[in-house]
Structure 1
Amino acid sequence: MHVGSWITALLPLGAAAGTFKRQSNTSEYQLQKGPLDTDWTEQVGTSPWPEYPRPQLARSEWKNLNGVWQYQNATGSELETPPFGKDLSKSVLVPFCLESALSGIMGTRTIYSWYRTHFDVDSEWIDSEKRVLLNFGAVDWQTSVFVNGKFAGNHTGGYFHFAFDVTDLVNTNGTNELVVWTYDPTNEAGKMIPLGKQRLNPDHINYTPCSGIWQTVWLESTGREYITQLDIDAKANGELNITVHSASGGQGNSSTGSSSTGSFEITIHSQGTEGVALQETGSTNAPTLFKVDSPKVWSPDSPNLYNVTVKLGSDTVYSYTGFRTVSKGVVNGLPRPLLNGEFEFLFGPLDQGYWPDGLHSPPSYEAMVSDLKAVKEVGFNMVRKHIKVEPGLFYQACDQLGLMVVQDMPAMPTYSSPPAEPCAPGPVVEPQQQQEFERELALMIEQLKSYPSIITWVIYNEGWGQNREDRATDERLTALVHSLDPTRLIDTVSGWYDHGAGDFHDNHHYAFPQCGTPFWGGLSGPYDPSRIGFQGEFGGIGQNVSIEHLWNVKQAIDQINQTYELADSEDAWNWRIHATFMDLLRQVEAFSCSGAVYTQTTDVEGEVNGLLTYDRRINRMDKEQWRSDIGDLYQAARERGTVPDGDGDTASPKEKRHFPKRVAPVSDEFGMRSM
């Protein structure tokens, strides 16, 4: 049984416990008619996303609060007078962005908002040795939470999980009232927050914003002393470094408790097997090192995963891991990314994760995973998750499918709304805004660092929110990320303003690539041969489609001609991309190209350069051609050599292999190391 089935078997799907019985003065929920839908839109119903949402810290006693809640637009001053005991005017479907059709609101400038619902708590959850946690997968951007008229806590950051211990606020002899206030300025004038591609006034490469609750809300029962986070690093040689973070309840209701110390028990076994690979004990809130003999390593070709169970007193959580080692090494004289001690050519699409019906929120788990399966089907081994953080189930799916993830930090905006004068410089990042960006950068790494599929962190995309002349900040943030997670590579700047920090020299170039080459264009500058040559974005070739597959907004349609290139048919589109891939192939053969990101998985609003249309109803790829071309890229990389020079960081001893060269050595006059 694979890890997803294992957790599902333990954790039944949660009922939509938050579903409100409509009151006379609250309008009924109604799916809105958006500019475009998908085949999943009508299937969502009113009990969306029933799956347990946090696969690396799962509990068996839980209750899903997704469903129809009450909603009302608000103002900034209303936080002082929450609407306790009052019906709100509209119904909203949680967890979908307020601007989306699936939310039932499809609002604009939903900057301040109120949510309200009721929930019951099982009587057996209220016990002197138990605690009740209220969890939010993600809410954009600031959140204040009240339970039964009392303040439970607040949170800032639009992409991150948070939880409150509400044990002392709930009761079991009646219904509990949950009221949530949200504030999301997006790119209002004077505001600078991590938001990715959200804009109040969308344009060709920036999209409709996502405000409010956009990931699952749920309750769960824990022990009085309970596990708050698992940090797991499992290396290819069997070394397992784990930190079990814990808290003790009863220390107030504004957080998840205070840190505590205790002894935990851990059991690990390979998926689909009954035998135990590890059974040990350790102390909480400190790194503990274990060893698993001869583990089955995780890779794109063999995504082996191990189930993990951790017990702390009466609290039990279920998780998983994959044994793999990510590093950098020199192979045949060239710096390369290594997976399990061998050069792995990184190739995949720019994955933006937008949906026409739910915006940031996929309509369902099935829909979300369909994108990943389409990518894997043609041979890609990676996705670049572009300036967005996804729900935990996304990364679990990548772990299970064998898709490496290059994970971007959500960028800060390049302009405000209303826009500045034409040709005015971009907004200046103030010190407090930079501090918030760095705080949320740390949150992202802490939340995601145990997923095996993530191999690289990206700090900045194309100078967005970057202090472009400030080399010291780039170096400092690179050191910060390395201190939080020394187990992965760091791409400090993907495209443009490169100051020499990080493991990659990452160039963006449309439409043809310039990957680790002795020629360049744009703002990335000449290739730095001391770092990994990477094509962070290329391609972007579009193909227009009929109106039923387009985001039917006039501004978006009018901007389709801003696409880098447009082909007039699917055949022409495939031919053009084949030529682009062949150019990349020659660069892999001749220069220092170690990976590339094709733009992009799907169309988004006015962009029509996706492998799939925005509604996911058309797959443009000639799958046989794409599989052949992608296979040729991997073969060219293998022929350049896979095993590091000298003593590499390998999973196990290997005989060094040499492959025939397909091209003549590159001359030293280009400033490149001879092959």
Structure 2
Amino acid sequence: MMRLLRNTVFSLLVGTGLAYPGSDDRQAPVKHPRAAGYSPKEPPLTTPWTDKVGTDPWPEYPRPQLQRAQWQNLNGIWQYQNASSLAAVQNPPFGQDLAQEVLIPSCLESGLSGIQGSYMLYSWFSTSFEVPSDWNGQSILLNFGAVDYEATVFVNGKKAGFHRGGYFRFSLDVTRFLKAGQENEFGIWQSVWIEPVPTNHVSQLDIDGNMDGQLNMTVHTSAANTTSSALVVVKDGDNIVATHRGPTNRPFQFKVDSPSLWSPDSPKLYNITVKLGEDKVQSYTGFRTIAKGTVDGVVRPLLNGEFIFMFGTLDQGFWPDGIYTPPTKEAMVYDLEMLKRLGFNMVRKHIKVENDLFYRACDELGLLVIQDMPAMRPLQSKALPNCGSETLLPDEAQQAEFTRQLEVLINQHKSFPSIATWIIYNEGWGQITSYYPEFELTDLVRQLDPTRLIDSTTGWYDHGAGDFSDNHHYSDPQCGTPFYSTASSPYDDTRIGFQGEFGGIGNNVSIEHLWNDQAAINTINQTYELDLSLEAWNYRSHVLLSELQNQIRLYSCSGGVWTQTTDVEGEVNGLMTYDRRLSRVDEDQWKSDIQSLYDAAAARTNKTMAAS
């Protein structure tokens, strides 16, 4: 085991979009003069949090379900250099200052990054840090929240690891690449941090608490092929409610007596401590059971054995100052708190995976999450010589990679209590139609996580897979009804009737609330419906929500997704503008209309339920 000297400086070199083919054994030359200093660029639109970001962004521990007391945040000012040439890819810039400074975490396209570039395909990033002396004798893990899309990591001129998948966290044990007593070299849009761990340490926790108080756990360890034992302590506040010692690297179960159940009305969470030898990690869970069942002759989603009408917004998670990265945790939670205040009990995270603190906030607030698998591509086609066109669909290798990353999505997020449903395909994007891969993918997801519902195809093309018969229709809904648009499919009464998207009505605003880019502004007239005033917009919202309420009362509607939380570039159909400075909603009206949906759903049910 390497022993690290006090205040030893280490530096990290990361290539994004790179799979470096050269030698891993280059030594670091002398450092060059400093790169151009960091300063944020002025984006086309700001938010109230833009000026609060500073140079120490996202100081929170990034992984709330596997948290250690000792850690060091590497967020802040890094160095950046474009690598969009073959020569740049094949020659990592070891031991030298890169061209510019950049704020991590942030997208290079964003103003907050300090770069605000376009078509940033390949990049080098570099930083230096000190390892605390009290970490001596332990392994050092280097953790990335997410890097888009591929990352090759070098430490001391040696390749320490490679990762593919722009939405998923990964960790590297970099201990053997570090050199004590001397300087070493090693589209980051989520946090980066290091932490010390013993040789055998907890690498992942799978936790599911159900409504009967049964806790199903797997403690994965770095010694994945061996079995030891881990001590699990469950607390309600400061009170210990259960302890259990279970085997590592295989599932085990134990009971917590009479737990308070998690729901949107009462999002109760229990703290969990796991001890494995010298390793100690903190986590949490909520006790709840998500299922489907027949209630009064209609297939319904069930939470803790009772029909729950799931109603939320399409949430794209874009920010004008940070693009994919929210400027601060406060900003990110602001959106969720607004939804909760209006009475929404759900949010659909649309073809994006957020950082773990997003899901922790949903767990705490009591917002169910319908989680999309990011699509491989939107519906695209290419022109043919005969003037026809051909839809572009994944080849075999691309489909295999999609499947692999779907597995990663499930495995990394299946312990968050708030996640209620997985979505595999959105509106046919990347969905092969020569055969129906959604059936085998549904089986895969069910095997990885039997505790959630699966919406195999939201919108179209629906061939009968999964738990939902999901219709998209703008502007008015068609939820579990005997009528449907030809773009979608007729309601299938053997599955849950669901309005996967509707609404989308817009209201244009003055330029100070718009993404000030002419190409985006030109698309505003493509909005499904434009209302000329906020009064008209709220009136039309009331009409559409009343129509959904009628479909709950008369037909088999079990939930819906309103488009959308906020405006984005070129879209003006949000509850709030893109900068979050203007809310369109008449809050009293919206609260009343949303409650009316729940009341209509409750009026349709009785106590006769059969889970399936």
Q: TM-score range by the shorter chain?
A: over 0.9
Q: Is the 8 A contact 1:543 1:569 kept in 2?
A: yes
What amino acid is aligned across from residue 428 of structure 2 in structure 1? Answer: G
Q: Which moved more, 1:149-158 or 1:409-418?
A: 409-418
Verify: 1:265 aligned to 2:231, yes or no. yes
Verify: 1:525 aligned to 2:489, yes or no. yes
Q: 1:150 to 1:82 in 2, by over 3 A?
A: same
The residue number in structure 2 matching 1:173 is: 181
The residue number in structure 1 matching 2:97 is: 87
The residue number in structure 2 matching 1:56 is: 65
The residue number in structure 2 matching 1:132 is: 140
Q: 1:420 to 1:326 in 2, by over 3 A?
A: farther
Distance (whole Å) between structure 1 residues aligned to residue 608 and residue 190 of structure 2: 42
Distance (whole Å) between structure 1 residues aligned to residue 318 and residue 226 of structure 2: 40
CA offsets 1:426-461 (integer angstroms, 9 cap, x no match): 212100000000100000000100000000000000
Distance (whole Å) between structure 1 residues aligned to residue 383 and residue 544 of structure 2: 35
Q: Is the 8 A contact 2:477 2:547 kept in 1?
A: yes
The residue number in structure 2 matching 1:408 is: 372
CA offsets 1:578-618 (integer angstroms, 9 cap, x no match): 00000000000000000000000000000000001000001
Distance (whole Å) between structure 2 residues aligned to residue 644 and residue 107 of structure 1: 58
What amino acid is aligned across from residue 558 of structure 1 in structure 2? Answer: N
The residue number in structure 1 matching 2:21 is: none
Verify: 1:121 aligned to 2:87, yes or no. no
Q: Which moved more, 1:583-592 or 1:165-174?
A: 165-174
Where do 5+ consecutive residues of structure 2 fail to align? 1-9, 14-30
Q: 1:419 to 1:269 in 2, by over 3 A?
A: farther
Distance (whole Å) between structure 1 residues aligned to residue 36 and residue 598 of structure 2: 56
The residue number in structure 1 matching 2:411 is: 446
TM-score by length of structure 2 reads 0.93
Q: Is the 8 A contact 2:301 2:309 kept in 1?
A: yes
What amino acid is aligned across from residue 222 of structure 1 in structure 2? Answer: V
Distance (whole Å) between structure 2 residues aligned to residue 301 and residue 287 of structure 1: 30
The residue number in structure 1 matching 2:3 is: none
Distance (whole Å) between structure 1 residues aligned to residue 92 and residue 11 of structure 2: 19
The residue number in structure 1 matching 2:43 is: 34
What amino acid is aligned across from residue 170 of structure 1 in structure 2? Answer: L
The residue number in structure 2 matching 1:196 is: none
What amino acid is aligned across from residue 109 of structure 1 in structure 2? Answer: Y
What amino acid is aligned across from residue 152 of structure 1 in structure 2? Answer: A
CA offsets 1:316-336 (integer angstroms, 9 cap, x no match): 110000000000000000000
Distance (whole Å) between structure 1 residues aligned to residue 238 and residue 132 of structure 2: 33
The residue number in structure 1 matching 2:165 is: 157
Distance (whole Å) between structure 1 residues aligned to residue 331 and residue 11 of structure 2: 23
Q: 1:121 to 1:516 in 2, by over 3 A?
A: same
How far does residue 86 in structure 1 lie from its aligned partner after superposition? Answer: 1.2
What amino acid is aligned across from residue 178 of structure 2 in structure 1? Answer: V
What amino acid is aligned across from residue 155 of structure 1 in structure 2? Answer: H
Distance (whole Å) between structure 1 residues aligned to residue 150 and residue 602 of structure 2: 48
| Partner residue of 1:607 out of 552, 563, 571 | 571
Number of residue equivalences: 584
How far does residue 76 in structure 1 lie from its aligned partner after superposition? Answer: 5.4
The residue number in structure 2 matching 1:619 is: 583
Corresponding residue SS for 1:168: helix
The residue number in structure 1 matching 2:400 is: 435
Q: 1:580 to 1:364 in 2, by over 3 A?
A: same
Corresponding residue SS for 1:56: coil
| Partner residue of 1:467 out of 426, 432, 440 | 432
Distance (whole Å) between structure 2 residues aligned to residue 556 and residue 103 of structure 1: 21
How far does residue 23 in structure 1 lie from its aligned partner after superposition? Answer: 6.9
CA offsets 1:224-261 (integer angstroms, 9 cap, x no match): 1100000001001101000000014xxxxxxxxx5432
How far does residue 75 in structure 1 lie from its aligned partner after superposition? Answer: 3.1
Distance (whole Å) between structure 2 residues aligned to residue 446 and residue 406 of structure 1: 16
Distance (whole Å) between structure 2 residues aligned to residue 19 and residue 441 of structure 1: 29
Verify: 1:502 aligned to 2:502, yes or no. no
How far does residue 18 in structure 1 lie from its aligned partner after superposition? Answer: 8.4
| Partner residue of 1:381 out of 345, 362, 365 | 345
Where do 5+ consecutive residues of structure 1 fail to align? 1-16, 179-211, 249-257, 650-675
Distance (whole Å) between structure 2 residues aligned to residue 603 and residue 522 of structure 1: 28
How far does residue 424 in structure 1 lie from its aligned partner after superposition? Answer: 2.7
What amino acid is aligned across from residue 224 of structure 1 in structure 2? Answer: T
Q: Is the 8 A contact 1:244 1:285 kept in 2?
A: yes
What amino acid is aligned across from residue 230 of structure 2 in structure 1? Answer: F
Distance (whole Å) between structure 2 residues aligned to residue 445 and residue 511 of structure 1: 32
How far does residue 175 in structure 1 lie from its aligned partner after superposition? Answer: 4.1
How far does residue 32 in structure 1 lie from its aligned partner after superposition? Answer: 0.3
The residue number in structure 1 matching 2:456 is: 492
Distance (whole Å) between structure 1 residues aligned to residue 598 and residue 321 of structure 2: 36
The residue number in structure 1 matching 2:313 is: 349
Q: Which residues of 2 match residues 2-41 of structure 1 at below 5 A?
A: 24-41=33-50
How far does residue 643 in structure 1 lie from its aligned partner after superposition? Answer: 3.5
How far does residue 556 in structure 1 lie from its aligned partner after superposition? Answer: 0.5
Q: 1:314 to 1:48 in 2, by over 3 A?
A: same
Corresponding residue SS for 2:595: helix
* CA RMSD between the two structures: 1.8
Q: Is the 8 A contact 1:551 1:614 kept in 2?
A: yes
The residue number in structure 2 matching 1:45 is: 54
TM-score by length of structure 1 reads 0.84
